[in-house]
Amino acid sequence: MIYKQKLYVKTFGCQMNVNDSEYMIGQLEQLGYSQSSDIFKADLVLLNTCCVRAKVEQKIYSLIGKIKEIKENKPDLILGICGCMAQKEKENIFKRAPYVDLIIGPSQVNNLKEIISRINSNKKQSIFCNNTTCFNLKDVPIKRESKISAWIQIMRGCNNYCSYCVVPYTRGPEQSRGASEILSEINDLAKNNYKEIFLLGQNVNSYGNNLSQPVAFSKLLELINNVNGIERIRFTTSHPKDFSFDLIETIKECNKICNHIHLPIQSGSSKILKMMNRKYDIDYYKNIIKKIRNNIDNIAITTDVMVGFPGETEDDFLDTLRAFKEIEFDEAYTFIYSNRDNAIASLLPEQVPLEIKKERLWKLIDLQKEISAKINKKLEGKIFEVLVDRKSKKHIENQFSGRTGTNKTMVFTSKQDLLGKLVKVKIIKSSAWTLYGELIE
Ligand code: SAM
Ligand code: SF4
């Protein structure tokens, strides 16, 4: 059955969710749905949710509340809550919002076509949240947002159980996709003129462990490096505990792997890292950074960090500030620790008051801004290769933006349409977050 109806999808959270939404839209377009950016015109509304922090969950519940009014005026509207919050909350969502039709966990994304066909025929409220099913994206239709850069999930789930994190409970145990399936997808993307591949996993360094014929992540990168047409390879996220010297060598040897590594530190205090169950201490972390910088020229390193983990004293926070001053990350994603029901850190005593958490967050953001600005200032006058991926967000005529291999945003002007091209740009001005340049080629 083909439905000539409108679909509205809103995505929250990480790149993995963005990619899941691409699969959702691809499947539903095959069923005849067309996308709308106007929720009021939609016949099917899907919220692809995140629940890593409590704040985003509250925001999603409040959006679900607003959709109630739309549903009252349009009773046939189907409302589905998908993704990590769906998996975590399950029937709680029905209790709080009985007008929701579907609850679909992240592992069921590949079955969406079937799920939607079913609800269209039986109109029955249902939950699809089995997160132990086999991870399978083979031949699942996808509608990619970009025609230049493609997200590829190489694995799903996580076995690490960091004590603050809900992901192992929402995305289930770690599962890798076979290397030949990944390579065949990348070959198809290359034939369709994609230039950049962005490999996704919660801990890409443990890629391949569960395969019947294990393939190391560094080997997978080497194989992808040989695909003709692909110019750039990126990946995220790396867990410091599994970051091998082999991987450093591979990044150095493979010309298409971008010189950017995202390596979450989470805290600069070894005491807190232990309580987080991160399985490394700060000296181990600093040692990896040293090895990376000693072996790969002009590498950019970014990180994730949290403030206010239970038991974090002023001294522990000072350790984080010290680590940031010493390491000098190119950029950092800074978070306030948020209690999550399933994660055991929520049971720890000595929760840090919100005011202190906010104070620490701002101190860290200010420090990082200074560091990023200093690093970028030193780049002025240098020439970088940029993959042009968008026209000006502000609709400024002839303005384009792209990313350097080090994953910095570069803004410049050109009279020619350069979307999808790799060009050389000289940096003439910089800020903490953006480089401004002039085209030299
Ligand atoms: N797998 C990645 C790793 O190991 O670093 C990260 C995945 S997690 C979805 C993204 C980031 O969210 C984490 O690096 C962490 O800094 C942050 N995060 C996770 N749980 C959190 C929590 N309970 N409160 C605040 N931030 C959290
Ligand atoms: Fe969460 Fe830790 Fe797994 Fe990352 S490695 S997803 S932070 S449990």
220/250 Cα distance (integer angstroms): 10
Using CA positions, which residue lies closest to atom 2 of ligand 2? 162
Residue with tokens 């790149």: 15
Nearest one of 177, 102, 89, 173 to 132, comparing CA atoms = 173
**According to the model, what pLDDT value does residue 3 have?**
66
State the ligand closest to the CA atom of 173.
2
CA distance 330 to 258: 15
Tell me the CA–centroid distance for residue 203 and ligand 2, in Å.
7
The verdict on the CB of residue 159 being under 6 Å from ligand 2 is: no
In this structure, which ligand is nearest to the CA of 171?
2
pLDDT on residue 409 = 96
Pocket residue to mutate for ligand 1, from 163, 165, 307, most atoms within 8 A of Cβ: 165
Name the closest-CA residue to atom 11, ligand 1: 304
Q: For 174-279, where are the E strands, in sequence order?
A: 175-176, 196-200, 232-236, 260-262
Ligand 1 atom closest to the CA of 162, numbered from 1:
4
Residue whose CB lies within 8 A of the most ligand 1 atoms, among 154, 206, 241, 306, for a mutation test: 306
The ligand 2 atom nearest the CA atom of 171: 6
The whole-angstrom separation of Cα 339 and Cα 55 is 10
Q: Which residues pair with 368 in a beta bridge?
A: none
| Sheet (strand 149-153) strand order | 149-153, 196-200, 232-236
Cβ–ligand 2 contact at 173 (below 6 Å) = no
Per-residue pLDDT at 123: 80
Distance 315 CA to ligand 1 centre (A): 22
Report helix, strand or coil for 67. Answer: helix
Substitution candidate for ligand 2 out of 53, 87, 88, 162 with most atoms within 8 A of CB: 162
Is the distance from CB of 218 to CB of 248 less than 8 angstroms?
no
Taking residue 253's Cβ as centre, other Cβ atoms within 10 Å add up to 12
Pocket, ligand 1, Cβ cutoff 6 A: 14, 52-53, 164-165, 167, 202-203, 237, 239, 264, 266, 304, 306, 335, 337-338, 340
Calpha distance 203→371 (Å, rounded): 27
- What is the torsion angle, in degrees rounded to the nearest 10, for the CA atoms of residue 385, residue 391, residue 392 and residue 398? 90
Residue 123 burial (CB count, 10 A): 10
pLDDT at residue 397, as a whole number? 81
Q: Which of 50, 87, 165, 304 to mutate to test the pocket of ligand 2 (most atoms within 8 A of CB)?
A: 165
d(CA 229, CA 81): 38
CB–CB of 319/269 below 8 Å?
A: yes
Closest listed ligand to the CA of 52: 1
Instruction: Give yes or no for residue 203 CB within 6 A of ligand 2.
Output: yes
Distance 277 CA to ligand 2 centre (A): 10
CB 347 within 8 A of CB 305: no
Cα–chain center distance at 400: 23
Q: How far apart are CA 441 and CA 220, in angstroms?
A: 33
Work out whether the CA dihedral 239, 241, 247, 249 comes out positive or negative: positive
Calculate the CA dihedral of residues 56, 57, 58, 60 and round it to 10 degrees. 90
Per residue of the chain (441 residues), give pLDDT as tens.
666 799 999 999 999 999 999 999 999 999 999 999 999 999 999 999 999 999 999 999 999 999 999 999 999 999 999 999 999 999 999 999 999 999 999 999 999 999 999 998 888 889 999 877 778 899 999 999 999 999 999 999 999 999 999 999 999 999 999 999 999 999 999 999 999 999 999 999 999 998 998 999 999 999 999 999 999 999 999 999 999 999 999 999 999 999 999 999 999 999 999 999 999 999 999 999 999 999 999 999 999 999 999 999 999 999 999 999 999 999 999 999 999 988 999 999 999 999 999 999 999 999 999 999 999 999 999 999 999 999 877 777 889 999 999 999 999 999 999 999 999 999 999 999 999 999 996
